[in-house]
Amino acid sequence: MKKIIFVLLLAVLMLFVSCGKSESKTSSTSGTATETSTKTAEKKKIEINVGINTGWDTLSPFRSNIGNNLPVISTITYESLGYLDGSNTLVPWIAKEWKTEDNGVTYDITIWDYITDSKGNKITSEDIVWVVETSKEKALKPNYKYVESIEATGDYSVRVKFNNTLVGVFETFMTDTLVCSKAEYEKAGDDYVNSCVTTSVYKVTGFVSGSSMEYTKRDDYWQDYNLLPEQLRATVDNVKVHIIPEAAQLGIALETGVVDFVLNFPASTAVQFDGDSDYTLQRADARNGMQIFFSGAEGKPVAEDKYLRQAICYAINNQLMIDAALEGYGTVMHDSAATYAMGYQKEWLDEEYYPYNVEKAKECLAKSNYKGEELVLLGSSTTKTVAEIIQNCCAAVGINIKLDLRQVALVTAIRLDGTQYDMFINQVGGITLANHWNTRYDCRSYKTGDATSRHDYVLADMIAEASTVKGFTPENINKVHNYIKEEAYGYGMYQLNNLAVWNNKVGIKEVVNDNINMVVPTACIYN
């Protein structure tokens, strides 16, 4: 009987142990599933779709400046020698370091000695020399005219000599030079029109000119992320850029989920997402401003009449233009250059800069030699609203304006001929103030004088002194600013806002912005 009871107890015990083992096994399996789920979540691919209204027509590294700074595309298709980070400071990228011992005439540049492209080609100084010399030969970017020579001084070092020490020449050179392997480029034999092999953290996996560009993150990227500014750190695995020219279609694409982000969103459509809790709208001042420049050509009423120019500046209602043309997404300017130009003095934002003042406009007009002549305002078909507001504002103080609105190509063809107009509406940026000044106000820049056919050598000498690496001081910068402001050769009306909108479902945990404070979708931190 005892044996029977023992056997029964043993059986019960075994059953209990078996159940315990079963529970333990189940628990273990459950834990494994959780761990697998966590690992899967960690490895989950982040894919985003970005909409923009213009794109690259070719993947060639030898590009003009048109579209060369497009958001997303410009930083993940190719890598350049240097990059302007969130504080607008030039930082290393392909280049590791650089130095100059003659105030910017010659630079010794060292590149990293372990750079490889997506096919494993190692980048050396030979590739850098080839890219620069080819860019100089093709002359598609004006800055290469300042490169006198480049030579390899080692396997991973080059020496570049410039023929001009203009401030910004070196920075532009570093950001303009798109790097790739000479051997791989020549092997392709198609000038990289529809495909390319680059050093970027992303590979171009799809390209339809004027329609779309697709990118996949490399798993063999050459650089340590800790050595990159946060704007260049890839947090997204796959990116598709949708090129949608029409603003309304961009809006529809965002609403229907075709795209997660829209960058450089036209204000006319972006406004509908402002205040919508499902979306985030981000605005930042663009690099370009909207300006008018006065003709300096002999015989033009505005050319020698400072008070007439000042009267026109005071007569213009900039806020009205911002509200009418940009749905309110703009900022009144305080110089003809935009605020992101290197050298821009922040105290200018507190200065009085021709605020809208009808009485002041009439006072200046009374001091002028204006006799009611018809003044021609040249603009493009895209600036019609702005031109009409200027015309009406000037009429209110007694100035007669005739509009001459042409297609952009026709405006471009005559924009440097001041005999063709009295005033010219333009959008001009510039990486530095020196670049802006030389483009618009230096009478030695063009055969006809400055960009409006003016010949002011006093200003030209001031610009020459202030534009060198050594002479680019606050004192010299303010001299040029005050002179142009007093003479009213050019007038900054408003700075456009770059608008970005994204669907909050994309799950951004931390927004990363670029050097003009715009979101960088490929570098943001996601949930």
Which amino acid, one-letter code, is at 269? T
Residue type, 224: D
CATH number, domain of 65, equals 3.40.190.10
Q: Consecutive sets of 10 residues in the chain, 527 residues long: mean pLDDT of each?
A: 39 38 31 35 83 94 83 94 89 97 94 98 98 95 92 98 92 95 96 96 96 97 96 97 96 98 94 96 90 97 97 98 93 95 95 97 98 96 94 98 94 92 92 91 93 97 93 97 98 94 97 91 96
Boundary residue ending a domain (212, 243, 274): 243
Host domain of residue 128: 50-243
Both 302 and 215 in one domain: the answer is no
Q: Which residue, of 173, 208, 243, is where some domain finishes?
A: 243
Q: What is the pLDDT of residue 70?
A: 84
Q: Which two tokens stand for residue 472?
A: 């680019």
Structure tokens at 27: 């628990």
209 and 297 part of one domain? no
pLDDT of residue 43: 65
Residues 226 and 350 occupy one common structural domain: no
Establish if 87 belongs to a structural domain.
yes
Say yes or no: 199 and 317 in one domain.
Answer: no
If asked whether residues 424 and 290 sit together in one domain, one would say yes
Same domain, 80 and 218: yes
pLDDT at 42: 56
Q: Does a structural domain hold residue 4? A: no
| 318 and 196 share one domain | no
| Residue where a domain stops, chosen among 210, 243, 276 | 243
For residue 206, being part of any structural domain is answered with: yes
Strand-pair category, 330-332 with 261-263 = unpaired
Question: Where are any strands of DSSP class E within 251-410?
Answer: 261-263, 279-294, 330-332, 374-380, 400-406
Residues 198 and 92 in one domain: yes
Separation of alpha carbons 305 and 32, rounded Å: 83
Q: Is residue 376 part of a domain?
A: yes
In a domain, residue 279? The reply is no
Buried b / exposed e over 111-122, threshold 16 CB at 10 Å, is: bbeebbbbeebe
Q: What is the DSSP letter of 452?
A: T
- Is-contact 378 401, C-beta < 8 A? no
Task: Report yes or no on 424 lying in a domain.
Answer: yes
Positive or negative torsion for Cα 230, 232, 234, 235: positive
Evaluate whether residue 15 is within a structural domain.
no
For residues 468 and 350, what is the distance between their CA atoms, to the nearest angstrom?
Answer: 27
Domain match, 198 and 83 both: yes
User: What count of residues does the chain have?
Assistant: 527
Which CATH number characterizes residue 381's domain? 3.10.105.10
Residue 44 covered by a domain: no
Kindly state the helix (H) or strand (E) to which residue 363 belongs, with its residue range: helix 358-367
Same domain flag for 321 and 426: yes
Domain shared by 192 and 93, yes or no: yes
How many domains is the chain built from?
2
Q: Same domain, yes or no, for 217 and 314? A: no
- Provide long-range contacts, Cβ within 8 A and 24+ apart, for 100-103: 100/170, 103/165, 103/468, 103/469, 103/470
CA distance 492 to 360: 18
